[in-house]
Amino acid sequence: MRAGPSQEDIRRHNLGALLRHVHLGGPTSRAELTSKMGLNRSTIMALTSDLTAAGLVREELPRETGRAGRPSLVVRPESSRVYVFAFDVGPDRLAVARVGLGGTILDRREAVRRRGPFELEELAGMLAGFARQMRRRTRADTVCVGAAAAVSGGVRKSDGVIRFGPNLQAEEMPFGEELGRRLGLGLPVSVGNDANLAALAEHSRGVGVAVRDLIYLHGDVGIGGGIIAGGHLLGGHEGYGGEVGHMVVNPGGRVCDCGSRGCLAAEVGEQALLEEAGKLGGGQHGREAVRAVVDAADRGDIVAQQALKRVGDWLGLGVANLVNIFNPEMVVFGGMLREVYLGSAAQVRSRMAVHAMAPQRERLRLRTSALADDATLVGAAELAFAHVLADPLEVLARVTG
């Protein structure tokens, strides 16, 4: 016979659940926590006092209750004291943020990344340098409880190795290990795919809060995706799932970075759009170049309009396939796909009207990312907080002990 969970297991679970509530929902009264968590008042009081003693939350009297009687204390996360480092490595941008418990970005640094081979040591050194700069500006009583990075590529979950990252020109790079060593905080650095993490970010703090079935499509040089089904990210057997950018939409079409042809990323990615618009080769690339094509189309430029129409056709076809398979409640366009979708929404919708099945399409919402360029960074922060929320006291004892 298997033993059930011990009192200690239950306490640990409840501490994590309570901390998650205030981390994602912000300051919450004890009374609300009691009803939301389905626990009695004395249990909530005991849990909040443990978390308060650990310095993870604090309790305050609400400003105004408007009701007679003793007001319920409000539990708020210790956002300025407990933080993580979140890193984002994209094809064109490096970003580092110090993010407080509760999701507040407390400080940040950004640098332009020049496209070219992935120089592991130089890159990790630069990111760690930014983190050190920010750390020097913190008060003495602050505590860093985690670190995580979003990268544009496929990442092995177990050790943070970038297995493939054509957009970063990275292959088999032990990025998590190198960044952890350079940070020197004695903390492991979790690494995740940027589109997967952005999907989680939109789901927990962005346009898809409370949406349990959501597909997020992230455009950069290529296209990445994150599929949330039943509230959970689909990672697949080894965490490489969700590569919707390499779904073939046009067999015999454009050659893709992955070695295949006619992938969604090859037909809708930055290069395809700029080439269709006659803008390839002039040294222009990245978000600005994509935006320029969308702006030109808005102003009536026929070539730009045609380019967006063609790209929108493929995008609509790709989304129709995904919608038929996963029946999401919402599809979110992020990264440069935000601009592309806004410039080609009519085309996307008309493709979907033909190729997506009616029951899947009827109540589907197509949206652009609410967190915009911060989605990947916010997602990395959530990944860094994940182990704190799983076992708050153990983590705090380890980092302060």
Q: Cβ of residue 256: shortest distance to Zn ion, in angstroms?
A: 3
Q: Cβ of residue 317: shortest distance to Zn ion, in angstroms?
A: 15
Q: Does residue 226 sit in helix, strand or coil? A: strand
250 binding Zn ion? (CB under 5 A) = no
x/- contact string, 125-154, with Zn ion (CB under 5 A)? ------------------------------
* Of 224, 236, 233, nearest in space to 204 by CA: 233
Q: Cβ of residue 250: shortest distance to Zn ion, in angstroms?
A: 11
Identify which of residues 180 and 224 has a Cβ nearer to Zn ion in the complex. Answer: 224
Span of 99-107, 194-202, 238-246, 348-356 interacting with Zn ion by CB under 5 A: 238-246
Ranges of H-type helices in 69-144:
120-136
Identify which of residues 250 and 324 has a Cβ nearer to Zn ion in the complex. Answer: 250
Identify which of residues 160 and 226 has a Cβ nearer to Zn ion in the complex. Answer: 226
* Of 266, 271, 244, nearest in space to 255 by CA: 266
Half-sphere exposure of 255 (CA within 13 A, CB side): 2
Q: Cβ of residue 323: shortest distance to Zn ion, in angstroms?
A: 20
* Residue located via tokens 């120089």: 119
DSSP 15-37: HHHHHHHHHHH-SEEHHHHHHHH
Identify which of residues 161 and 263 has a Cβ nearer to Zn ion in the complex. Answer: 263
Q: Does residue 195 sit in helix, strand or coil? A: helix
Identify which of residues 129 and 241 has a Cβ nearer to Zn ion in the complex. Answer: 241
d(CA 134, CA 173): 26
Identify which of residues 187 and 263 has a Cβ nearer to Zn ion in the complex. Answer: 263
Q: Cβ of residue 226: shortest distance to Zn ion, in angstroms?
A: 17
Q: Cβ of residue 292: shortest distance to Zn ion, in angstroms?
A: 25
Q: Cβ of residue 202: shortest distance to Zn ion, in angstroms?
A: 24
Nearest-Å Rg of the Cα atoms of the chain is 23
Rounding to the nearest 10 degrees, give the CA dihedral for residues 325, 327, 328, 333: 50
User: Do strands 57-60 and 74-77 pair parallel, antiparallel, or not at all (unpaired)?
Assistant: antiparallel
List the interface residues with Zn ion, window 253-292 (CB under 5 A). Answer: 256, 258, 260, 263
Cα-Cα-Cα-Cα dihedral sign, residues 186, 190, 194, 195: negative
Identify which of residues 15 and 273 has a Cβ nearer to Zn ion in the complex. Answer: 273
Span of 16-24, 234-242, 248-256, 367-375 interacting with Zn ion by CB under 5 A: 248-256
Identify which of residues 263 and 308 has a Cβ nearer to Zn ion in the complex. Answer: 263
The token duo for 369 is 């990312």
d(CA 8, CA 247): 46
Q: Cβ of residue 243: shortest distance to Zn ion, in angstroms?
A: 8
Where does this chain bind Zn ion (CB under 5 A)?
246, 256, 258, 260, 263
